[in-house]
Amino acid sequence: MDLYRLTIHEASKLLKRREISSVELTSAVFDRIEEVENKISAYLTLVKDRAMAEAETADNVIGRGESKPLTGIPMAIKDLLCTEGIRTTCGSKILAEFVPTYSSTVVKKLKDAHAVIVGKTNLDEFGMGSSNEHSAFMLTHNPWDLTRIPGGSSGGSAAAAAADECIGAVGTDTGGSIRQPCSHCGVVGLKPTYGRVSRFGLVAFASSLDQVGPITKDVTDCALLMNEICGYDSVDSTSVPHPVPDYTETLRSGLNGIVAGIPKEYHVEGLDQDVSQAIGNAIKALEGLGLTCKDVSLPHTEYAVATYYLIAPAEASSNLARYDGVKYGLRDAASGDLMDMYRNTRSKGFGPEVQRRIIIGTYALSAGYYEAYYGKASQVRTLIMQDFKKAFETCDVLLTPVAPSPAFKLGEKLDDPLSMYLSDIFTLPASLAGIPGLSVPCGFSREGLPIGLQILGKHFDEEKLIRVAYNLEQATDHHSRKPKL
């Protein structure tokens, strides 16, 4: 048995029964990393010695009968979450040597459960990108086709999960950064409701949009990981004190009584034929399981891309102002005066995509333009939220594509920012509305590339998303197929 191929729930059962040890499981994962990482490049930092020590501790916890479902499970962490004593780069030269003195709340929760941290995964710099090509350090490759993007910005975590370089992973989603790479890599990814998971210790990109979520090999693992990372956090002002259910209780067969809306604005001209067919087949399969489908309209969808690319860069401009070479991170020591040091540090430390977004955001917030751009975008955001609210008056969930096409070739859209931004057209509206969204494998293209179905739900109604995804997974075999590496 290849231990690295196990899911969280499979490994957890074997660990609890003492049929395998966390040390054996963690060793198998590192052997797998050694075997395929030169092809994938999913990790920016690996901490093998530390991980093996954590695995030994986990085995002792299991031996005392005190284990949790994540105890002893090797996990990958997106390098946008602070990890005490482990380098946290955010995929940027400006933080290339930054080692935090504390861990994010999500990482703390994983450590409290005695999960094993394998390493930190690659990403688009500060989470700004849809392809993982904007990392300052390296390109991550899609395990299904090494010439293609894994998606972004959580591409390292999605690729690591798909290539069995971890048992489970954590990513972040600002405008689709969990859902889109999970669709492209054939794994399960959930962006929780904004405020459901603590943002403390998550290095901020866009504070009103960023959310931490699970990236897993199947839906059961998604539910288990959600159980561990959700909950109110008093040190995060955006955390919501909303009751957290046991998400595993929603893993049951049958969808009778659940109504799904099919937004007409998401099935448009230009949608890849293979994606359209896979989504159609998934909807038919769900209807066969008792789901009722109806057409709905989200009329302001066409404004989502423009709205997002005003709000997110504006917030990024504000958040990234702290990287000035004074307190931490890169400093250009050769500068003649303070202003030169600011300018040179930020020019050398930030990549072209981050600089582009800072410039857009600063312009949108500048005197004389604030109301015309940021203010107007905020109003349109409210209209998008109202579209979803109205749709959910008659529906429990919405079913849409995750991306307009399967994973595209590396370099294909790198010189065309607008085309790159449009690849998030189906994930951005949910982020602007703050509602949960889940990507679950629903088929493959003619070239053998994974395609994901996006399931959207009401605020704090992740249970329904998980239930629908679980039923689709049980009725198909898409999640069980593995890339050949």
22 catalytic? Reply is no
Burial (CB count <10 Å: 0-12, 13-18, 19+), residue 238: middle
pTM of this prediction? 0.97
103 catalytic? Reply is no
DSSP states along 111-134: HHTT-EEEEEE--SGGG--SSSTT
The pLDDT score that the predictor gives to residue 333 is 85
User: In angstroms, rounded to a whole number, what is the distance separating the alpha carbons of residues 132 and 78?
Assistant: 12
Q: How do the pLDDT tens digits run along the chain, 485 residues long?
A: 899 999 999 999 999 999 999 999 999 999 999 999 999 999 999 999 999 999 999 999 999 999 999 999 999 999 999 999 999 999 999 999 999 999 999 999 999 999 999 999 999 999 999 999 999 999 999 999 999 999 999 999 999 999 999 999 999 999 999 999 999 999 999 999 999 999 999 999 999 999 999 999 999 999 999 999 999 999 999 999 999 999 999 999 999 999 999 999 998 778 999 999 999 999 999 999 999 999 999 999 999 999 999 999 999 999 999 999 998 899 998 888 999 999 999 999 999 999 999 999 999 999 889 999 999 999 999 999 999 999 999 999 999 999 999 999 999 999 898 889 989 999 999 999 999 999 999 999 999 999 999 999 999 999 999 999 999 999 999 999 999 99
Residue type, 225: L
Distance between the two ends of the chain, CA-based, in angstroms? 17
Q: How many residues does the chain have?
A: 485
The pLDDT score that the predictor gives to residue 269 is 76
Tokens coding 236: 């995060």
Q: For the chain, what are the domain ranges? A: 3-257+441-448
Taking residue 373's Cβ as centre, other Cβ atoms within 10 Å add up to 19
The pLDDT score that the predictor gives to residue 14 is 98
Catalytic residue among 153, 157, 183, 439: 153
The pLDDT score that the predictor gives to residue 188 is 98
78 catalytic? Reply is yes
> C-alpha angle 240/246/247, rounded to 5°?
90
Catalytic residue among 12, 21, 67, 78: 78
CB 191 within 8 A of CB 97: no
CB 429 within 8 A of CB 148: no
Label each residue of 267-329 as H, E or C: CCCCCCHHHHHHHHHHHHHHHCCCCEEEEECCCCHHHHHHHHHHHHHHHHHHHHHHCCCCCCC
CB 315 within 8 A of CB 128: no
Catalytic residue among 135, 157, 177, 198: 177
Question: What kind of architecture, by CATH, is found in domain 3-257+441-448?
Answer: Alpha-Beta Complex (3.90)
The pLDDT score that the predictor gives to residue 121 is 98
Tokens coding 405: 């096409």
Best CA proximity match to 469, nearest among 291, 246, 212, 294: 291
CB 282 within 8 A of CB 439: no
User: Cα torsion at 219, 220, 224, 227 (round to 10°)?
Assistant: 60
The pLDDT score that the predictor gives to residue 344 is 94
CB 196 within 8 A of CB 242: yes
